[in-house]
Amino acid sequence: MIIFGIKNCDKVRAALRQAKVEGKTVQLHDFRVDGINQVLVDAMLNDIDITQLLNKRSTTWKQLDDGAKDNINAGLLVMHPTLIKRPVIFENDQYRIGL
């Protein structure tokens, strides 16, 4: 299992704890440390609709101009990984949000 997010995010830390309690082998992919690219975002979007993956409650979203908000796409998520809801879980060859 791979948990994607940011290591200081409360929801990501909770997901890591829960996975360990369940005895799962887990790896953290921190967007800020490990990065993110178009291939990874596209893979996530194959399993998760962009409207579900996009975190409109984030500070980053609130700081975007209206033009960027009107043109939501994978490139926007690559440029601003904190717009991705956390945690994103990759398990059994599928991406999903949360545990």
Homologous superfamily, domain 2-97: Glutaredoxin (3.40.30.10)
Q: Tokens 């409109």 map to which residue?
A: 56
Per-residue pLDDT band at 73 (split at 50, 70, 90): very high
**Of 9, 50, 74, 99, which is the active-site residue?**
9
Sequence ranges of the domains in the chain: 2-97
Q: How far apart are CA 8 and CA 32, in angstroms?
A: 11
What contacts 49, CB < 8 A, 6 or more positions away? none
Any catalytic annotation for residue 67? no
* Per-residue pLDDT reduced to its tens digit, 14-67: 999 999 999 999 999 999 999 999 999 999 999 999 999 999 999 999 999 999
